[in-house]
A = this chain, B = another copy of it.
Amino acid sequence: MTTPPRLVMKFGGTSVADMERIRNAAARVKREVEAGYHVAVIVSAMAGETNRLVGYVREAAATPGANSPGFYDAREYDSVVASGEQVTSGLMAIVLQEMGVPARSWAGWQAPVMTTAAHGSARITGIDTTKIVERFGQGMHAVIAGFQGVSPEGRITTLGRGGSDTSAVAFAAALGAERCDIYTDVDGVYTTDPRIERKARKLSRISFEEMLELASLGAKVLQTRSVELAMNHNVKLMVRSSFSDDPGTLVCPEEEIVEKNVVSGIAAERGQAKVTLLKVADRPGVAASIFGPLAEGGVNVDMIVQNISEDGFTDMTFSCAEDDVARAKHLLENAEPKIGYREIVVDDDVAKVSVVGVGMRSHSGVAQTMFSALAVDGVNIKVITTSEIKVSVLISRKYLELAVQSLHAAFGLDKV
């Protein structure tokens, strides 16, 4: 007897937002079960749940008279927030059972999904699939709470926002799944956000590298780490809609894409902030003294720019999520004696726009085309960074739509 092939199906928050949608998702699972797969379903929290729970945590952390208002124990945050996926997994298991599909739920600590102790953004260090595979053998499919795991000391961890994608890919790798289907509220990966540019087109395929840039640039279709993981373990990732039977977008190795565009997509990210430390002593080790505490404090620093030194002093600018600004300021203020600077200046009216494409490797002039298009529309660029396959700029938030539309046209993405 051959072992049936395995399939991982991941349903995001909007795909399990209410009971009707959970049933719709379950019906898709049932179809794959009937097609002969052993299925591991990874579920997110019902849409809105995570925000509700995070809201509670913030409220708790805003207790008046606290020593450090706004800060909270990330271990407690994880325990509170992870409950959302726990609820969906139980409900999905019940609905599957009702539909005649044998299934049981697994919390992160039950599988277990082992992670680092970096609460709030833990990394998966290993998945023990023994018990789940044993149940597969008994005809029992698995419904796994995404986004979560357990730390070495036995505490609930979460993988960070969108971490359910990472859970899904990690399970697909650990189970040797034939494919990892990511069901979401969009039917694939687009050349840009269709809410910003109506002429955006769905891509039938996109390379891991491009997806990685788009994911980390805020395209929000897939979490960055899930794409990394899929690339490293060569997991075939399919992004598709829970609400239609359209084919979706396959994320795959570059070699499997025949027709390559110079630029594949434009990513836009609204909630950014630019933080500048004025008059930092320009000496060796100063960058480490700034970004060390930020990294330890869990602030995800994106771009870093250091201005020309003058009189032994320099200005150091970085960007991060707007939500991290308060924490970043606090950490930098604490580290001030070690760093030494005159002032922290925050510009939190900032958006990031990026163009991405593996074709940039062989085509020059992409940055120039980008800057020209923005200049024509009078969009001032605040910070620029580039990588092998992308160019990103920070601009005023009010120009975000305009910039995306200009660039989408400038790179011919609105043409089939």
- Is A65 at the interface (CB under 8 A from chain B)? yes
In the complex, which residues of chain B have a beta carbon less than 8 angstroms from the beta carbon of A347?
none
Contacts of A69 in B (CB 8 A): 98
From B67, B72, B83, B105, give the contact of A94 (CB < 8 A).
B72
Which B residues touch A99, using CB under 8 A?
Answer: 63, 65-66
CB nearest neighbor in B for A77: B90
Q: Does A22 contact B (CB under 8 A)?
A: yes
Q: Does A57 count as interface, using CB distance less than 8 angstroms?
A: yes
Whether A79 and B60, one on each chain, are in contact in the complex, defined by CB atoms closer than 8 angstroms, is no
Tell whether, in the assembled complex, residue B76 and residue A94 are in contact, meaning their CB atoms are under 8 Å apart: yes
Chain A contacts with B in 1-59, Cβ cutoff 8 A: 19, 22-23, 26, 53, 56-57, 59
Chain B residues with Cβ under 8 A from A80's Cβ? 86-87, 90-91
Min CB–CB distance A137 → chain B (angstroms):
16
Q: Is A406 an interface residue (CB 8 A)?
A: no
* Residues A60 and B107 in contact in the complex (CB < 8 Å), given A79-B89, A86-B79, A99-B65: no
Shortest CB distance A27–B (Å): 10
Copies in the complex: 2
Q: Is A109 an interface residue (CB 8 A)?
A: yes
Residue of B nearest to A143 (CB): B76
| B100 and A67 within 8 A (CB) | yes
Tell me whether A98 and B154 are in contact in the complex, defined as CB-CB below 8 angstroms, given that A56-B19, A57-B91, A80-B87 are known contacts.
no
**Chain B: which residue is nearest A75 at the CB level?**
B104
A279 interfacial contact with B, CB 8 Å: no
Is there contact, CB below 8 Å, between A97 and B109?
Answer: no
Cross-chain contact A107 with B156 (CB below 8 angstroms): yes
Cα(A23)–Cα(B63), bound, Å: 7
- Within residues 254 to 291 of chain A, which ones have a CB less than 8 A from any CB in chain B? none
**A79 and B97 form a contact (CB under 8 A):** no
Query: A220 an interface residue at 8 Å Cβ cutoff?
Result: no
Q: Considering the complex of A and B, which 3 residue pairs feature the smallest CB-CB distances, nearest first?
A: A80-B90, A66-B98, A83-B83
**What 8 additional pairs, Cβ within 8 angstroms, besides A75-B104, A76-B97?**
A56-B91, A57-B91, A63-B95, A63-B98, A65-B98, A66-B99, A79-B107, A80-B91
